[in-house]
Amino acid sequence: MFKNINFAALILINMFKKIFRKADPEELGENFFKLINHDWMLVTAGTSENFNTMTASWGATGILWNKPIAVCFIRPQRYTYEFANREDFYTLSFFDHGHKEILNYCGTHSGRSVNKISKTGLTPIETPNGSISFEQSRLVIECRKLYADFLREEHFLVKKIVDQNYREKDFHKFFIGEITGCYEKT
Ligand SMILES: Cc1cc2nc3c(=O)[nH]c(=O)nc-3n(C[C@H](O)[C@H](O)[C@H](O)COP(=O)(O)O)c2cc1C
């Protein structure tokens, strides 16, 4: 049931389907404008062997190439960026309001220097395709990367956005992922 990763975090294995039920993205009834912007989400990439997670409040869900997709935007200095770049899948995890402090922690500390799992009490759980989310999530979106690229300075049509958001020229890389699984807490 549990897998011990580096003696630092216990990961729930083979438990996902007992805790979450599969949902049709079209039937969700969620407001992703509000969810992403105000509730925030954890972007997690990696496997039970090695993963990292960070808070994100920029992103999107929609339809592209006739598929349900989600997009996240990750600056290259994030430790999570290394995992998102390397792995084929990532997850987006959403929580109820009681977990805001945890999300704030995961958005202000890097997995390079702290163990976010032991610091927050999050319980990693392996999703059906071997990605990682958290037992405390209320909604989990599994994504398979389809397309990734950096935002490019020369392509901004409103230059003020560059001045306001990219003083360090650390342009986000965006990851467009096909939503391969959408799960709600039972
Ligand atoms: C509310 C909130 C939203 C954030 N949104 C993003 C985002 O969309 N993209 C991003 O690259 N960083 C975002 N961050 C910053 C990362 O979460 C933060 O730098 C984190 O410590 C990175 O962790 P890591 O180095 O372990 O990957 C956000 C932080 C907070 C607090």
Residue 7: band (very low, low, confident or very high) from pLDDT cuts 50, 70, 90: very low
Beta-strand pair 51-56/20-22 = unpaired
The two three-digit tokens of residue 29, written as one number: 């009834």
How far apart CA 83 and CA 120 sit, in angstroms, is 20
Q: What is the pTM of this model?
A: 0.96
14: CATH: 2.30.110.10
Q: What does the CA dihedral 86, 19, 114, 144 come to, rounded to 10 degrees?
A: 10
Ligand 1 near 40 CB (within 6 A): yes
The two three-digit tokens of residue 184, written as one number: 């709600």
Residue 94: band (very low, low, confident or very high) from pLDDT cuts 50, 70, 90: very high
Asked if residue 48 lies in contact with residue 124, where contact means CB atoms within 8 angstroms, the answer is: yes
How far apart CA 122 and CA 105 sit, in angstroms, is 11
The percent of residues above 70 in pLDDT, for the chain, comes to: 95
Using CA atoms, how far residue 183 sits from 2, 15, 44, in Å, is 21, 13, 15
State the total domains in the chain: 1
> Best of 37, 53, 78 to mutate for ligand 1, by most ligand atoms within 8 A of CB?
78
> Best of 38, 41, 52, 55 to mutate for ligand 1, by most ligand atoms within 8 A of CB?
55
Those residues whose C-beta lies under 8 Å from the C-beta of residue 65, and which sit 6 or more positions away, are: 146
Going across the sheet that includes 132-134, the strands are 2-5, 9-12, 124-126, 132-134
Ligand 1 atom 15: residue of nearest CA: 107
Ligand 1 near 186 CB (within 6 A): no
pLDDT in tens, 52-81: 999 999 999 999 999 999 999 999 999 999
Residue 10: band (very low, low, confident or very high) from pLDDT cuts 50, 70, 90: confident
Q: Which domain holds residue 8?
A: 2-185
If you average pLDDT over residues 151-164, what whole number do you get? Answer: 98
pLDDT at res. 9: 67
**Higher pLDDT, residue 4 or 182:** 182
pLDDT at res. 3: 60
Residue whose pair of structure tokens reads 């049709």 in the numeric block: 24
Residue 154: band (very low, low, confident or very high) from pLDDT cuts 50, 70, 90: very high
Check pLDDT > 70 for residue 1.
no
Q: If residue 79 lies in a helix (H) or strand (E), which one and from where to where?
A: helix 79-86
> Best of 37, 42, 54, 106 to mutate for ligand 1, by most ligand atoms within 8 A of CB?
54
- What's the one-letter identity of residue 164? Q
If you measure from the C-alpha of residue 174 to the centroid of ligand 1, how many angstroms do you get, rounded to a whole number?
13
